[in-house]
Amino acid sequence: MELRLHSPAGAEPAVYQWPLSTSDKHDGAIEIVETIRWVCEDFPELKAAMENHVLNDYDTKSYESMRTLCDKYNRAIDSFLQL
């Protein structure tokens, strides 16, 4: 199983294999969430929607929860790219 994050620049998506890797220095789930937050900093029009409706409710241990997080982010990015 994999999770994908679409690129706001139109590049290839970032792909994460589930279960996500975790170690003392790396956590795949946190990397996904931080990537979304960084994109929101560059695209303020996405920030409010993502922080209020997506980044406020997720479980990093649940594939379904992380998939939903990625799906909502990807829909927002796809809508933004169509503008």
The answer to whether the peptide bond before residue 19 is cis (omega within 30 degrees of 0) is: yes
- Residue extents of the structural domains in the chain: 2-7+15-82
> Average per-residue pLDDT in the chain?
93
Measured CA distances, 1 to 7, 49, 64, 66 (Å):
20, 27, 11, 12
Does residue 83 carry a pLDDT above 90? no
Does residue 26 carry a pLDDT above 90? no
- What mean pLDDT comes out for the span 49-73? 94
CATH 1.20.810.10 fits 2-7+15-82, yes or no: no
| Helix runs in 1-83, H state only | 28-42, 44-53, 63-82
Instruction: Classify 17 as helix, strand or coil.
Output: strand
